[in-house]
Amino acid sequence: MTDRADTEASDTIASIAQALGGRPVRQPRVGLVSGGLAAYWPQFPELRPRIERTAARVAERLRDFDVELVDAGFISDETEGAEAGDRLRTADCDLVVVLLSTYLTSAMVLPIAQRAGAPVLVIDLQPSPAMDHASFDTGDWLAYCGQCAVPEVGSVFRRAGIAFRSVTGHLEDASAWARIERWIDAARVRAVLRRARHGLLGHLYPGMLDVSTDLALVSTQLGGHVEVLEIDDLRVRVEDVSEADARARVALARSVFTLDGSVDGDDLAWAARVSVGLDRLVDDFRLDSLAYYHRGLRGETHERVAAGMILGASLQTARGVAMAGEFELRNSIAMLVADTLGAGGSFTEIQALDFRGDVVEMGHDGPAHLLMGSAAPMLRGLGVFHGKRGWGVSVELDVREGPATAFGIGQERDGSYVFVASEGEVVPGPHLQIGNTTSRVDFGCHPGEWVDAWSASGVDHHWALASGHQAARLRATAELLGLEFRSVSA
């Protein structure tokens, strides 16, 4: 992101946040257990204080990642390990970090993993990049041998059917902390999804079988709750919007968007009224995401409400409440995941292929993630929405050039979800001017071959386009959720 684009995006989000209020940020709750073997303490009196200083530094660094840290203390034997696991279970953590600063037995770590009720990350960070071999005695060496226990713990976790993950390095190792941060980011998404409230408004777009979603599977595989909403839940709130509130929303839209000459004043006023009603729907049902579609007939109120949602849905997405059209619930959840990772996440499908430029052209009408634009977003008036009833204003946004990731949530025959991602590069080139969010993505291969591989992955025909290369963090997130991760590449 360029400095200018970064500033413009920050100003846009600040304007929206001031008007609507940002979505409450959920800190991941991260447990920490540190320890070593009790037999060492009387043998080497300086060892435990040294290890405790290492644990204090680890706690400090973890707090720097903006987590709610639950320090379960220092353990020296298996009984204390079991007690720490019980404390962490009560705390309801999103991730548990077990610090191996010296050797300890797997019997001390296993009860933590069995009782804590959360995924476990084992880390072993020796005090410095290397020992001072000439001056070190046995006690000094023991402060460096945490990695000795890592394969032991990994072996026992495998035999116990517990997912094993670890990060090895030294205390100030930037690479190790980057890998730890990846797991913290995954825990952040897990924290959001475990407690999320997803709105599903209206009905399935007729014939889109890939979009249909079993609501029980969302809660059982991802966590959270799906709130089933009627178009009337929004209609009654739109009808209650005052003229003053509608005028204020028009003013906000004019401050955030560039208005194309095709925008009709009455259509903008209606979209503003629907936008305010949508705010109230989100607040009343405490939604973190919303997928919507309603067909309507002959220009009646329900059709006009559904057609007027694009402005409000884009503003909500910018404040962190991810919204997707065409009833695509797994897409709105994917957008929420991307936004939680700080990567935007915009409603996307394939538009066309440019075989001269070797790019996949992507986009969609409907809500856009305003943070991802290369310039100020535009409102364009449309006399017809392709494939949908109604008319009004739509958001047009050109996605900023640079690294990007296509990310969707696919589904297997047995109902299990799979995270699917493909990293590419948004490149310059011509864009359609039809009220869509658009981007030209180079995936480093023949675009037709990419479409074939992407389509064979099990992903829906909608997905989230995220800023930056996010496959590593999405892979970690899938693992914490117990889902398969599938990468599509050249």
249 and 138 in one domain? no
204 and 82 in one domain? no
Tokens at 454, concatenated: 């992407």
Exposed, middle or buried by CB within 10 Å (0-12, 13-18, 19+), for 259?
A: middle
66 and 212 in one domain? no
Instruction: Decide which of 149, 168, 192 is a domain's last residue.
Output: 192
390 and 375 in one domain? yes
Instruction: Decide which of 169, 192, 215 is a domain's last residue.
Output: 192
233 and 88 in one domain? no
Tokens at 221, concatenated: 């595989």
Tokens at 308, concatenated: 């007027």
Q: How far is CA 347 from the centre of its chain?
A: 14
Domain count, the chain: 2
In a domain, 2, yes or no: no
In a domain, 3, yes or no: no
Q: Which residues of 212-238 are buried (b: 16+ CB within 10 A; e: fewer)?
A: ebeeeebeebbebebbebebebbbebb
In a domain, 1, yes or no: no
Residue 320's alpha-carbon distances to 23, 158, 193, 196, 250, in angstroms, are 6, 38, 13, 12, 21
187 and 163 in one domain? yes
In a domain, 224, yes or no: yes
The reported pLDDT for the residue numbered 29 is 97
The reported pLDDT for the residue numbered 384 is 58
Rounded Cα distance, 17 and 370, in Å: 12
177 and 115 in one domain? yes
The reported pLDDT for the residue numbered 1 is 45
Look up the CATH number of the domain holding residue 76: 3.40.50.10940
In a domain, 6, yes or no: no
419 and 272 in one domain? yes
Query: Beta strand pairing status for 225-229 and 197-202?
Result: parallel
pLDDT 10s digit of each residue in the chain, 490 long?
A: 445 555 555 566 666 766 667 666 789 999 999 999 999 999 999 999 999 999 999 999 999 999 999 999 999 999 999 999 999 999 999 999 999 999 999 999 999 999 999 999 999 999 999 999 999 999 999 999 999 999 999 999 999 999 999 999 999 999 999 999 999 999 999 999 999 999 999 999 888 998 899 999 999 999 999 999 999 999 999 999 999 999 999 999 999 998 989 899 999 999 999 999 999 999 999 999 999 999 888 778 998 999 899 999 999 999 999 999 999 999 999 999 999 999 999 999 999 999 999 999 998 877 888 888 887 888 988 755 655 555 678 888 888 999 999 999 999 999 999 999 999 999 999 887 777 788 999 999 999 999 999 999 999 999 999 999 999 999 999 999 999 999 998 6
Give residue 94's domain range.
29-192
Computed on alpha carbons and rounded to an integer, the radius of gyration of the chain in Å comes to 25
Task: List, for residues 82-104, the tens digit of each pLDDT value.
Answer: 999 999 999 999 999 999 999 99
260 and 372 in one domain? yes
Q: Which residues of 182-206 are buried (b: 16+ CB within 10 A; e: fewer)?
A: bbbbbbbbbbbbeebebbbbbebbe
In a domain, 314, yes or no: yes
92 and 74 in one domain? yes
251 and 164 in one domain? no
Task: List, for residues 230-287, the tens digit of each pLDDT value.
Answer: 999 999 999 999 999 999 999 999 999 989 898 999 999 999 999 999 999 999 999 9
138 and 273 in one domain? no
Rounded Cα distance, 284 and 305, in Å: 18
Instruction: Decide which of 168, 192, 216 is a domain's last residue.
Output: 192
The reported pLDDT for the residue numbered 12 is 60
Query: Beta strand pairing status for 437-442 and 359-364?
Result: antiparallel
Look up the CATH number of the domain holding residue 255: 3.20.14
Rounded Cα distance, 227 and 131, in Å: 57
In a domain, 10, yes or no: no
In a domain, 387, yes or no: yes
